[in-house]
Amino acid sequence: MSIKYIWQDKEWPRFIWNNEQIARLLGEVHQELGRLTGIVSMFGFVQKTNTFLDAMTQEIVHSAEIEGEVLNHDSVRSSVARQLGLPYAGLPRIDHYVEGVVQIMLDATQHAEQPLTDERLFGWHAALFPTGYSGTYKITVANWRQSTEAMQVVSGAMGHYQVHFEAPPSKFVPDMMKLFIKWINSSTEMDPLIKAAIVHLWFVTIHPFDDGNGRLCRTLTEMMLARADGMAQRYYSLSSSILNSRKNYYEILEHTQKSSTDITEWVEWFLRTLYQAITASIGKMDKVIQKTDFWNRHADLSVNERQRKVLNRLWDGFEGKLNTSKWAKICHCSQDTALRDIQDLIKKGILRDTGEGGRSKNYELIEMEA
């Protein structure tokens, strides 16, 4: 007997969920979204721009990384800035593929309220596969998949692989996508965050393309989230949160796609992951506020460019402990110069010796109260 998938259920795609079970979590997500919006509203242009660029870059890079694709972080960030006419530092390498990937996400989020159409999805798909190939395999691009072979999500070595999910046959895809797109464009009384969760599951279950379904699924989800919070500028990254629990992400998708159309567990998982993404962003914003407050309180502080560079690095999140060797590496200077810089900041009450590290002393930032 073959495995029964959710799309084979007689109720498909009439999804149901337990509102009482998710009510509290849904309220908490909305509350955190309100907090995030409030913090952003207090930011100046530079803070807003940098926070937005960071979040959008992470979303694009980490969505690709979920699928095992590595994009250059700086190229993505520069492309986002350039395409939006924002200031960006340096002269990044031109990467036409990255340009296309960024265009997809910007179209989805900057024009979230525009109707979704076949042509719009086909344009996104063509930008992901400009050569018409996925790796060394020629695929159908800018159209629904057409192969008569089963579309399966598998893992393991050839001949010993495990089938995690089988998508609907290609002949069903056009009608399924017509219904899906019509539903996305329709106005409903449903909470927009729940609608985003359903869009994510529904699209990835249909698996309408030969390849790129995961990335386009998360792009569509970002479009729905932009509609939900009314902000074209994204200040948190859902894909970053998904990447942190990638194994669990695939497990909950597989479990849900082999169940009935009661998707309560999936909606819960989605909302929890969204909550984590938003709170992580708020944590970073708090650091931005602290950093700004620090420099405001020390507006008259006399520091050289090396010292300013390292102090900013400490506020932005420094890996490990600061010592003279790391200072010298960051600033491309000698360790003697690094030590003089550090000792100067200690005298000024900005840094202190942690008392750790033995001969190789470690230093930390003194977070002074306002």
Tell me: the pLDDT tens digits for 311-332? Answer: 988 887 777 889 999 999 999 9
Query: What's the chain's average pLDDT?
Result: 91
Confidence of residue 368 (pLDDT cuts 50, 70, 90): very low
pLDDT tops 60 at residue 95: yes
Strands 162-166 and 351-353: unpaired
Pull the structure tokens for residue 125. 């798909």
pLDDT of residue 104: 97
pLDDT tops 90 at residue 23: yes
Find, among 264, 262, 144, 158, the residue nearest to 212 by Cα: 144
Q: What is the pLDDT of residues 36-60, one digit of tens each?
A: 999 999 888 888 998 999 999 999 9
Instruction: List C-alpha distances in Å: 145 to 116, 159, 172.
Output: 19, 24, 10
CB 265 within 8 A of CB 253: no
**Mean pLDDT across the stretch 138-163?**
84
Q: What is the pLDDT of residues 60-79, one digit of tens each?
A: 999 999 999 999 988 899 89
pLDDT of residue 135: 87
Secondary structure class of 338 (helix, strand, coil) = helix
CB 214 within 8 A of CB 204: yes
Q: What is the pLDDT of residues 336-356, one digit of tens each?
A: 999 999 999 999 999 999 887
pLDDT of residue 177: 98
Secondary structure class of 15 (helix, strand, coil) = coil
Find, among 232, 278, 272, 229, the residue nearest to 252 by Cα: 272
Angle separating helix axes 213-229 and 192-206, nearest 10 degrees: 170
pLDDT of residue 369: 41
d(CA 145, CA 125): 11
**Mean pLDDT across the stretch 221-226?**
97
d(CA 178, CA 166): 20
pLDDT tops 90 at residue 298: no
CA 368 to chain centroid, in Å, comes to 33
* Amino acid letter, residue 243: L
pLDDT of residue 370: 37
Q: In b/e form, how buried is each residue of 296-316, taking b as 16+ CB within 10 angstroms?
A: eeeeeeebeebbeebbebbbe
**Mean pLDDT across the stretch 121-146?**
95
d(CA 119, CA 107): 13
User: Which one is predicted more confidently, 187 or 227?
Assistant: 227
| E runs forming strands in the chain | 133-134, 137-138, 152-155, 162-166, 351-353, 363-365
Confidence of residue 239 (pLDDT cuts 50, 70, 90): very high
Q: Which residue in this structure is represented by tokens 């219904």?
A: 179
What is the reported pTM?
0.84
